[in-house]
Structure 1
Amino acid sequence: MHTQPLFSVEARHELLQLMRAYPLATLITVADGSAEANLLPLEVCDLGLHGTLRGHVARSHSLFTGAPDGSRATVVFQSPNAYISPRWYVNGQRSGRLAPSWNYAAVQAQGVIRFVDDPAWVLAHLASLTASQEAGRAEPWSLDDASPAFLQDASQRLVGFEIVIGSLTGKRFLSQQRTEADRRSVIEHLAGEAAPSAHAVASLIVP
């Protein structure tokens, strides 16, 4: 993932925090010269030098049937994103040296995928992934609310996988190159947009 020093995020805890905040990731693998991208919710574990990702798919899923164990994987986590209009900038209007841009945050993780064919591992992973998403709810749902027969069937139909992260690259493109006045103006205009994603991006920008 291309990035520049001004927009780079290097702190490990910040990268893992962003990944946990937006766990539906794009997982890219290459098999027989053909690349495949899948959107999958991933559990981000604080294990290893850069962290570890855990996920699951159906046994019939092309990730399991098409990507050999030990394949290289690239995983991209991305925050909500929003278009930024040049008219929102307070400074630079007279020069005309302005262009539209897009604000977002993203993390790229790379590693090797290993499949885990173990029903007990799958159930433990599902419990942990669910707990992370249900945390803070008034009445959180857990695997205990599902029937044992259903869980047993699910654990047989699914296969787990783990990616020990070998490298992490983070990027925040959130108008850091603009003046404080510009950033405050961008936040104000994003807050007035109809799209909920624009409001989410406004909350990520540091004035």
Structure 2
Amino acid sequence: MHSQPLFQLEDPHAIHHLMRAYPLATVVAVTRQGLEANLLPLELCTEEGGPTRLRGHAARGHPLLQPGMDGAEVLAVFQSPNAYISPRWYVNGQRSGRLAPSWNYAAVEARGRLRCVDCRDWLQAHLQALTLSQEARRDAPWLLEHADSGFVEEAARRLRGFEIDIDHLTGKRFLSQQRTEADRRSLIEHLSKEGSGAAHDVARLVVP
């Protein structure tokens, strides 16, 4: 992922936070069918002194999990909400005339090797962790054990797990850092007035 130094996100905690906040990643790999890109929710696992890895699952017939894919290089892209930035929102830019439409977003690119996992206990623990990560802040969190046990067993038989041992992480925050504080405050104000919920989310990401 191309990124100029100003926009690079290098703090591991900030990178991990973005990955956990937006776990639905675009997973790209070369499969038997050719280049494939799939949206899959991924669980970030960090261990003290150990490797950082991603855990996921898909249907057993999924191209990503077919024979020959063990050890394949994959790319996972995590992306925050994004929003169009109108040149009219720039305060200082209006005076300079150096204006162009833009797009604000944050993203993380994770590269690593795929490893398929066939283990019922692993799959149940992964599904539980993935669910808890999204339900934890709710007043009445839904837990995996709330589902009928027979249904869970049946669903688990149709799924297969995988892990990605991360070799390289790249983070990027393209949130108008090159603009003045007055411009960024103006962007926050205008984004907050947009009809799109994504624009409101981006407004909260921009640092004045």
Paired with 2:182 and 2:155, the residues of 1 have a C-alpha distance of: 53
Letter of the 1:87 counterpart: R
Distance apart, 1:64 and its partner CA: 1.3
Distance 2:12 2:51 in 1: 7
Please say which of residues 89-98 and 100-109 is displaced more in the overlay. 89-98
Q: Which residue of structure 2 aligns with residue 53 of structure 1?
A: 54
Question: Aligned partners of 1:66, 1:9: CA distance in 2, in Å?
Answer: 36
Is 1:185 aligned to residue 186 of structure 2? yes
C-alpha distance after superposition, 1:101-123 (max 9, x if no partner): 00000000000010001111111
Instruction: Tell me which amino acid in the other structure corresponds to 2:158.
Output: R
2:38 matched to which residue of 1? Answer: 38
Change (3 A) 1:73 1:206: same
1-structure distance, mates of 2:183, 2:96: 15
- What's the offset of the Cα at 1:95? 2.9
Deviation per CA, 1:139-162: give whole Å up to 9, x if none.
101111011111111221110000
**Counterpart of 2:28 in structure 1: which amino acid?**
I
Q: 1:81 to 1:193 in 2, by over 3 A?
A: same
1:65 Cα deviation from its structure 2 partner: 2.4
Decide which moves more: 34-43 or 50-59.
50-59
Number of residue equivalences: 207
Q: CA-atom RMSD, angstroms?
A: 1.4
Report what 2:84 is aligned to: 83
Match of 2:106 in 1: 105
- Answer yes or no: is the 8 Å Cα contact 1:82–1:102 preserved in 2: yes
Cα distance in 2 between the residues matched to 1:177 and 1:131: 37
Opposite residue 136 of structure 1, the aligned amino acid is R
Three-state SS of the structure 2 residue aligned to 1:206 is coil
Q: List gaps (5 residues or longer) in structure 2.
A: none
Q: What does the per-residue CA deviation read over 1:168-197, in whole Å, with 9 as the maximum and x for residues that have no partner?
A: 000000010000000000000000100000
Q: Distance in 1 between matches of 2:166 and 2:110?
A: 6
- 1:171 matched to which residue of 2? 172
Q: 1:181 to 1:50 in 2, by over 3 A?
A: farther
- The 5 A counterparts of 1:1-207 are 1-32=1-32, 34-47=34-47, 51-65=52-66, 68-207=69-208
Code of the aligned partner of 2:206: I
Question: 1:63 is aligned with what amino acid?
Answer: L
Percentage identity across aligned positions?
62
Moved more, 106-115 or 54-63: 54-63
SS in 1 for 2:194: coil
1:80, distance to aligned residue in structure 2 (A) = 0.2
